Structure 1
Amino acid sequence: MLSRTASDLYWMSRYLERAENLARMLDVSYSLSLMPQDGSGDGLDELAMPLLITGTLDEYLERHGQMHAERMLNFFALDADNPASIYCCLQAARTNAHAVRGRITGDVWENINATWLEIRGISEQGLGRFGISRFCEWVKERSHLFRGATFGTIMRGDPYHFVCLGIFIERADNTLRLLDARYEMLGEDIDEIDGRPARSYYQWTALLRALSSFEAFAEIYRGSPGARKVSELLLLRPEVPRSLRACMDELNRTLANLPGENARPAQRLAAELDARLRYTGIKEILDEGLHAWLTEFIQQVRLLGQAIQRSYLEVA
C-alpha cells in the first residue's frame, strides 16, 4: 500500500475518533458546569477544561478576550477557524476519506460524507438552537456508526489495520489526558481534604460516563469511585474498551500484522508499552505519582505515533 493512502486512512479514523473524544470531553464539562460551583457559581472554569486539555485556551483568549460560556462552547464545537474544533475534525476526516474513496466500502464513505453534511447544517442552525447535549450525543452516534460500518464491511487487510491504528492511538491519548485532568482537579483524597463527597462522586462518575465505563466500574468495584479505583479501571483493565491497556493491546496486535522492515521501531515500542501495562499494578503507579506517570505515558504514546508516522506514513 502507498504511504499516502495509508496516511489518509490512518488520519481519517483518527480525526473521527478525536471528534468523538472531544464531544465526550465537552459533554462531561458542560454537565459539571451546571452543578453548583465553589466560589464563582458560573461554571466557566469547568467549561474551560476542554480548552486546557486540548491546549487551545490561549488561542481562544486571543480571539475572544474573556471567558464566555456560549462563545467557548461554539469555539470548541463548531468554529471553522479553530483547527481543534469538532467541526474541523469532521471536515478533515471527510477530506481524507474522499482521498481513499476506492479503499473503503460504500457504507463507510456514506457514513462519513453524511456526517459532514449534517454538521454543516448544525453549524448553520447554531449550537444554542440545536442543543449542546444533543450535539454531543449526535457526534458519538455518528462515530459509532462509522466504527460499525468499518468493522462490519472492510476486509481485514492493510486498509483495515491502518484504520484501527488511528482509532486506538487517538483513544489511548484521550483516556490519559481526561484522567490526568480530572485527577489534577480532584486529587487523591478529596473527601478527607475538603469535605465535598457529593462533588467528588459526581466528578469521578462524570469521567466514567464520558469514557462509557460507568457500568463496567459498577460491575467490577464496590463503593464510590475514587482516584485509585478509577485509575486502575481506565489504565489497567483489558476488558474495558476505552482503557489504556485495551488500546495498547489493539495497537500491539495491529502493528504485528503489518509487514515491512521499517516497521520494527514502532512494533518494538508498542510491544514494550503493552508489556509495561500488562505487568504493572496500580500501587506501583500511585507510588510513582499518578500525574507524573500519566504525563510520562502521554509522551510515550506521542512517540509511538511518531514511530508509526516514520514507519508507514511518510511519503518517500
Structure 2
Amino acid sequence: MLGRTAASLFWMSRYVERAENIARLLEVGYRMSLTERSEEGTSEYLASMMLAAEVDEDFAKKHEVTDVASVAHFMLFDTDNPNSVKSCLEKARTNAKAVRTAITSDMWESLNSTWLHFSQIQPRQVLGNKLPGFLQWVKQSSHEFRGALLGSILRDDGFAFAQTGGFIERADNTARILDVKYYVLLPRTSMVGGDVDIQQWTMILRAASAHRAYRHVYHDRYKAWNIADFLIFRKEMPRSLAFCVTSVTAMLGMLEQVYGEPSSCHDDAIRMAQHLTTGSMDKVFSEGLHEYLTGFIASNNALTTSISESYNFY
C-alpha cells in the first residue's frame, strides 16, 4: 500500500473519532457549567475543557467571554479552529474521498451523509437545550461510521491503518477527559468528596460512555482512585488508555505480518503497553494525575510520528 493511501486511511478514521471526542469534551464542559454560578457569563468549566483540549489560546484570540454560545460555536462550527467538529468531518471526508477505492460503499455513504447533513445545520439551531441532542447526533454518526468499517472492510493493511488511527485518537481523548477533571478541581480542593465532586466524576464517566460499566465493576460510591484506574488501566473498558494502546499494538503487529518485516513504531507501541501494564494508581497519584496524563499524551503523539515515519505517510 502506498504511504499516502495508508496516511489517508489513518487520518480518515482519526478525524471521525476526533469529531466524536470533541462532542464528548464539549458535553462534559456544558453539563458541568450548568452546576456553577458564573460571573459575567464566563464558565470556569468550559474554560477548563478548552484548556484540556489545548484550544484555549485560539479561542481567546476570537472571544472575550467563555460562555456556552461562544464555546459551542468555536468547538462545533468554527473552521478557523482546526479541531472543530466541522473541520474534523471535512478533513475526514477529504481523506476518505482520496482513498475511495480502498474503503467500502457503506463507509463512504455513512461519512458523506454525515457531512452533508452537518453542512446544512445553522449554529443558531443547536443553542440552549438543543445542544445535548446535537452532540448525541455527532456521537451517533461516528458510531455508524465505525459500524460500517467493522462490518464491511477486509481485514487487511487498510483495516489496520484505519483502526490504528481511531484507537490513538480515542486514547488521546480519554486522557483529556480525565484532565478536565484535574483542571476543575485544581483551585477547589475543598470540594473533593462532596456532592459536586461526585456529580462531576459522574459526568466524566458519562462522557467516556463508562457510567454503567463502572457501576458494574465497582459497586461502591464514585471515587477518584477507582474512576482513574478504570479509565487508565482496565483493559476490558474499551475507552481506557490500556485498551486503546493494546489495540494499537495489535494492529501494528498485524501490519508486520502483512508486510513481513518489523517496524520501530511497533516496538514503541509495545513499550507504551508495557508501561501501562506495569503501572498502578499508586504510581499515578505519586507522580500526579495531571503530569501522568500529559506524559501519556506526549507519548501518544510521539507514537503517531513514529508510525508516520515507519510507513512513509509524508
TM-score band by shorter chain is: over 0.9
The reply to whether residue 222 of structure 1 matches residue 219 of structure 2 is yes
Match of residue 312 from structure 1: 311
CA drift of 1:261 comes to 7.8
Taking a change above 3 Å as real, the CA distance of residues 199 and 125 of structure 1, as seen in their structure-2 partners, is closer
Match of residue 15 from structure 2: 15
The reply to whether residue 47 of structure 1 matches residue 46 of structure 2 is yes
The DSSP-based 3-state class of the residue aligned with 1:200 is helix
Q: Percent identity?
A: 37
Taking a change above 3 Å as real, the CA distance of residues 81 and 223 of structure 1, as seen in their structure-2 partners, is same
Q: Distance in 2 between matches of 1:239 and 1:217?
A: 11
Aligned counterparts, 1:182-261, within 5 A: 182-186=181-185, 190=189, 193-194=190-191, 197-259=194-256, 260=259
Match of residue 280 from structure 1: 279
The reply to whether residue 101 of structure 1 matches residue 100 of structure 2 is yes
Taking a change above 3 Å as real, the CA distance of residues 7 and 89 of structure 1, as seen in their structure-2 partners, is same
Deviates more, 1:81-90 or 1:218-227: 218-227
The reply to whether residue 92 of structure 1 matches residue 91 of structure 2 is yes
CA drift of 1:275 comes to 1.3
Q: Say if 1:262 and 1:311, in contact at 8 Å, map to a contact too.
A: no
Q: Distance in 1 between matches of 2:105 and 2:54?
A: 36
Structure 2 counterpart of 1:98, which letter? Answer: K
TM-score by length of structure 2 reads 0.93
The reply to whether residue 165 of structure 1 matches residue 164 of structure 2 is yes
Taking a change above 3 Å as real, the CA distance of residues 49 and 287 of structure 1, as seen in their structure-2 partners, is closer
CA drift of 1:102 comes to 0.3
RMSD of aligned residue pairs (Cα, Å) = 2.2
Aligned counterparts, 1:49-64, within 5 A: 49-64=48-63
Q: Say if 1:10 and 1:166, in contact at 8 Å, map to a contact too.
A: yes
The DSSP-based 3-state class of the residue aligned with 2:72 is helix
Structure 1 counterpart of 2:23, which letter? Answer: A
* Structure 2 unmatched runs, 5+: none
TM-score by length of structure 1 reads 0.92
The DSSP-based 3-state class of the residue aligned with 1:155 is coil
Q: Deviations over 1:93-122 (max 9, x none)?
A: 011111111000000000000000010011
Q: Distance in 1 between matches of 2:191 and 2:74?
A: 33
* Structure 1 unmatched runs, 5+: none
Aligned pairs, number: 312
